[in-house]
Each structure stands twice: as structure tokens, then as C-alpha cells.
């Protein structure tokens, strides 16, 4: 029997953060969560589930909040062949994704993929993220904002940059809000999440935790390059329009399960 190390075993659990109100996409998000917004006839959530399925993921842990019943209904239709668990964030309106991730700590003890529910991308881009302690990054385009990272020549993340600053000489890469953890790395992250929550820092992004841990040398990510022209983060109406253009010719198979499927 071959004894594989944790880093060589493919991940089959994913944690999807889907609790937010999607306020920048109003009025579309007044009556449905952002992840149920459709692009060429398929919701972002359907596309995400289909992509995870093709990569061999079998267990999905969803952190939900805003209009969570809509997400539960959609997954009952489109993901009944997978093990689905829900974590409710009752204070989603006054907290950020750091708190949502912290709420998932008792539901996940194994290596897993963390992914945000407002992303659309080509499914094969996940190939390199099916193993622990990796993070999706891409070259930056004008529409991209938010967290960036510096990487070494060996593609290890050396620094998280949560805010823009001028004068940087080294190349910085945009984070795609998808990363994977080994069980040991997850324990390290949870311990720091505990500190943030205890200090009342519940309105911050979870990247603030990553920033500290990477700077200390306590968290090590291998960067996995995403084609900057084959992924999009949908936050605003303009983002939605651009995603429609980018994925106009994409073919995504996300068939609804029949009532006979188990």
C-alpha cells in the first residue's frame, strides 16, 4: 500500500462563504443572494457547484446568512448528489467574511478548499488547487482591486498586501479568493481567528489573518496561477456586465438532478 502524505492527497471538502448581503449588486440582491445571480442562464452558484463536482469534491460546507433559504433550495435542486452542510451566520449584516470563516471551525477538521461564492471561472483552473496549502493568484488587470500578494521565485507567497500602496518595485499578484489548507494550517488559522473574534475584530476580512501569519512564517501558501482573462469576481452591476462578456462563449454543464437521483 502506498502511504501518501497529506500534501499528496486530493481534497474533497470545500467551504463556500455565502452569507453576505451583496449590497453593491442591489437591487438584484434584494430578493436573492448574490450567488444566485445568473450569467447566461446559469447562476454563479450552479457554475461553482458544477466546477467543484468535476474536480472530485464530494462535501460542501456553506456558510449562509442573507436569504439563506434561497441557497438551500438551489442546492437541493443542483447538488443532491453531494454531501451539503450549512453553517448559519446570524449576524451576517454586521460582520465580515472573517467571522463567517470562524463560524465554520467546528465543521471542518480535514484539508479543504476555501472559496467565495461570487466567483465565476473556468473549471479547469481549479486543477492546481485540489491539494493543501495553495492559493489562487493572477496577474492584475485594471478592474481588479483588493488584496494582492508578493511571491518568491519558487511561487511561495511571501507577503499579503491588503491595501494599495505606491512605490512597490516587486511584482504583485491579485488574490482570487480561493485557497486550500492542510489540517495543520487550518488549526493555525483557527487559533488566530479566535484571537480576532475575541478582540471584536469581526468586521475585517480573513486576509488580515493570512497577512499576519504569513509575515510571521506560520502560514505557507504555494501560488497557483489563474488566467486573468478567465475569472471574474461579481460585486457590482458593472462586474455582472463584464462577466457576461467574458463568459459569452463558455460552456458550463450544470444539469439539474432529476427527482430519481439520490
pLDDT digits 0-9 by tens, 137-151: 999 888 888 899 999
CA pair distance 204, 215, nearest whole angstrom: 18
**13-18 and 112-116: which strand pairing?**
parallel
Helix-, strand-, coil-residue percentages of the chain, each rounded to 5: 35, 25, 45
Task: Read off the pTM.
Answer: 0.90
Judged against a pLDDT cut of 50, whether residue 1 lies above it is answered with: no
Q: Is 216 left (phi over 0), alpha (psi -120 to 50) or beta?
A: alpha
Q: Looking up cell 471561472, which residue turns up? A: 121
Q: What is the pLDDT of residue 232?
A: 93
Q: Is residue 170 very low, low, confident or very high in pLDDT (cuts 50, 70, 90)?
A: confident
- The three grid cell numbers given for residue 102, joined into one nine-digit string: 470562524
Three-class DSSP category at 106? helix
Three-class DSSP category at 57? coil
Helices 44-54 and 68-78 meet at what angle, rounded to 10? 40
Q: Mean pLDDT, to the nearest integer, of 212-241? A: 95
In this structure, of 3-12, 73-82, 123-132, 190-199, the range with the lowest mean pLDDT score is 3-12
Q: What is the pLDDT of residue 77?
A: 92
Q: Mean pLDDT over all residues of the chain? A: 90
Task: Give the tens place of pLDDT for each residue, 93-136.
Answer: 999 999 999 999 999 999 999 999 999 999 999 999 999 999 99
Domains of the chain and any CATH numbers: 12-246 (3.90.550.10)
Higher pLDDT, 1 or 240: 240
Please give the span between the terminal C-alpha atoms of the chain, in angstroms, as a whole number. Answer: 32
Q: Mean pLDDT, to the nearest integer, of 176-200? A: 98
CA pair distance 89, 71, nearest whole angstrom: 13
CA pair distance 175, 147, nearest whole angstrom: 6
Q: Write the CB contacts of 16 (distance below 8 Å, at least 6 apart in sequence).
A: 48, 60, 61, 62, 63, 115, 116, 117
**13-18 and 59-64: which strand pairing?**
parallel
CA pair distance 73, 58, nearest whole angstrom: 18
Q: What is the pLDDT of residue 141?
A: 86
93-129 in b/e form (b: 16+ CB < 10 A) is eebbbbbbbbbbbebbeebbbbbbbbbbbbbebbeeb
Alpha helices in the chain (DSSP H): 44-54, 68-78, 97-103, 183-198, 207-216, 237-246
Q: Mean pLDDT, to the nearest integer, of 52-62? A: 96
Task: Give the tens place of pLDDT for each residue, 223-233.
Answer: 999 999 999 99
Judged against a pLDDT cut of 60, whether residue 157 lies above it is answered with: yes
Q: What is the pLDDT of residue 248?
A: 87
Judged against a pLDDT cut of 90, whether residue 257 lies above it is answered with: no
Q: What is the pLDDT of residue 165?
A: 54
Q: What is the pLDDT of residue 254?
A: 44
Provide the 10 A C-beta neighbour count for residue 54.
13
Amino acid at each position: 500500500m502506498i502511504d501518501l502524505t497529506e500534501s499528496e492527497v486530493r481534497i474533497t471538502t470545500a467551504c463556500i462563504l455565502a452569507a453576505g448581503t451583496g449590497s453593491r449588486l442591489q437591487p438584484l440582491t434584494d430578493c436573492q443572494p448574490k450567488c444566485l445571480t445568473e450569467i447566461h442562464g446559469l447562476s454563479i452558484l450552479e457554475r461553482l457547484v458544477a466546477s467543484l463536482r468535476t474536480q472530485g469534491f464530494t462535501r460542501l460546507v456553506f456558510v449562509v446568512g442573507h436569504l439563506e433559504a434561497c441557497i438551500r433550495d438551489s442546492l437541493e435542486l443542483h447538488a443532491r448528489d453531494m454531501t451539503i452542510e450549512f453553517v448559519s451566520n446570524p449576524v451576517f449584516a454586521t460582520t465580515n467574511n472573517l467571522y463567517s470563516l470562524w463560524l465554520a471551525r467546528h465543521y471542518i477538521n480535514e484539508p479543504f478548499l476555501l472559496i467565495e461564492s461570487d466567483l465565476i471561472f473556468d473549471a479547469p483552473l481549479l486543477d492546481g488547487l485540489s491539494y493543501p496549502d495553495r492559493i489562487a493568484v493572477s496577474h492584475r488587470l485594471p478592474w481588479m482591486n483588493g488584496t494582492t500578494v508578493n511571491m518568491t521565485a519558487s511561487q511561495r507567497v511571501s507577503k499579503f498586501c491588503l491595501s494599495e500602496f505606491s512605490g512597490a518595485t516587486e511584482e504583485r499578484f491579485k488574490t482570487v479568493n480561493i485557497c486550500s489548507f492542510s489540517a495543520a494550517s487550518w488549526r493555525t488559522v483557527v487559533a488566530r481567528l479566535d484571537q480576532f473574534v475575541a478582540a471584536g475584530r469581526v468586521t475585517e476580512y480573513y486576509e488580515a489573518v493570512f497577512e499576519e501569519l504569513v509575515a510571521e512564517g506560520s502560514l505557507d501558501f504555494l501560488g497557483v496561477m489563474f488566467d486573468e482573462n478567465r475569472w471574474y469576481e461579481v460585486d457590482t452591476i458593472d462586474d455582472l456586465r463584464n462577466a457576461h462578456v467574458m463568459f459569452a462563449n463558455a460552456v458550463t454543464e450544470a444539469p439539474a438532478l432529476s427527482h430519481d437521483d439520490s
